[in-house]
Amino acid sequence: MTYLLDVNALVALGLSHHEFHARITAWLVADDFPPLATCSITELGFVRVLAQASGYGFSVALARTLQLRLKKSDRLTHTFLDDDHDISHLPSWVKTAKQTTDGHLTELARAHGMMLATLDERIPGAYLIPRV
CATH ID of 3-128, from 3.40.50.150, 1.10.150.530, 3.40.50.1010, 3.40.50.720:
3.40.50.1010
One-letter amino acid identity for 132? Answer: V
Strand order in the sheet with 78-81: 78-81, 36-39, 3-5, 115-118, 127-128
**Mean of pLDDT values over 101-105:** 97
pTM, two decimals, is: 0.94
| Sequence spans of domains, the chain | 3-128
Looking at residue 132, its pLDDT comes to 84
Distance CA 25, CA 53 (A): 22
Distance CA 67, CA 49 (A): 12
pLDDT for 66 beyond 90: yes
Looking at residue 126, its pLDDT comes to 98
Q: What is the pLDDT of residues 17-29, one digit of tens each?
A: 999 999 999 999 9
Q: What is the pLDDT of residues 71-95, one digit of tens each?
A: 999 889 999 999 999 999 999 999 9
Q: What is the pLDDT of residues 23-60, one digit of tens each?
A: 999 999 999 999 999 999 999 999 999 999 988 899 99
Distance CA 58, CA 81 (A): 25
